[in-house]
Amino acid sequence: MKVVIVEDEKLAAERLLTLLRQADPSVEVLDCLESIEETVHYLRNNRHPELLLLDIHLSDGHSFEIFKQVNYNGPVIFTTAYDNYALEAFKLLSIDYILKPVTRTALASALNKLHSFSSRELQQGLSQFPSTASKKRFLGKIGQRLYFVETTSIAFFQAENKLVYMIDKSGTRYLVDHTMEKLEQLLDPRIFFRLNRKFIVSIEAILQVKPYYNSRLKLSVKGAGQQEEMVISRDRVSEFRQWAES
């Protein structure tokens, strides 16, 4: 099993490495990372590991922020010195939540729990997390009128001049009362992907993906006008490919 450790204390990271090898000699640790920034960069540019062993408190914030920036759909074992983040952890793809100091017994128990799932059961179980929290419809505004729009009808969201618009597959534009960051939390990450600062797109609305200069990709999307150029930056191409093929 391929694992990435995320822990900002060097001694704690070394201890986790030792405990992992004791609990399961077949484990291959791909990397030991120290921050949200490092982890996001790693997950955007490398094949995702089969498990993240993730400390909650990192030098640059809470590790939950990682999942707002990256579509990671694998299992996670959280470690922390605090017990008040358990609920938030289990809203994500959490297999276990281990309080520090981590012991070999606790880590072995978490790994056994992970191994007890077949690949199919694991994917089915983990896929329930995003769908549970994902919105099924949004309230949009055109002029003074309000409309309910089913999520399945949405092609993309667009940030423009400090406002956020929801565009359906026929090209109708609605003003919505959410930031792009909030939308990332509300939308199913299996269906929606944030291309850049300006666009979040539905995989069901993508008509074509074409190579673009400087190793980028350009999308043709239902409902989009000529002026709405959807380009994926070079540093997000790898993550987009993983998302599109998952």
pLDDT tens-digit series, residues 196-215? 889 999 999 999 999 988 88
φ, ψ of residue 131 in degrees (nearest 5): -70, -30
Question: 152 vs 128, which has greater pLDDT?
Answer: 152
Does the domain at 137-245 match CATH 2.40.50.1020? Answer given as: yes
- Domain 2-133 class in CATH: alpha beta
Confidence of residue 96 (pLDDT cuts 50, 70, 90): confident
Q: What is the mean pLDDT of the chain?
A: 85
| pLDDT, average across residues 68-75 | 83
> Dihedrals φ, ψ of 111, to 5°?
-65, -40
pLDDT computed for residue 140 by the predictor? 92
Q: Check residue 4 and give its pLDDT.
A: 95
- Please, which pLDDT band fits residue 92 given cuts at 50, 70 and 90? low
* Percentage with pLDDT > 90 across the chain: 43
**Predicted confidence band of residue 90 (pLDDT cuts 50, 70, 90):** low
Residue-range domain boundaries for the chain? 2-133, 137-245
Q: What is the pTM of this model?
A: 0.51
% the chain with pLDDT above 70: 87
Instruction: Tell whether the model's pLDDT for residue 87 goes beyond 50.
Output: yes
Question: Cis link prior to 211 (omega < 30° from 0)?
Answer: no
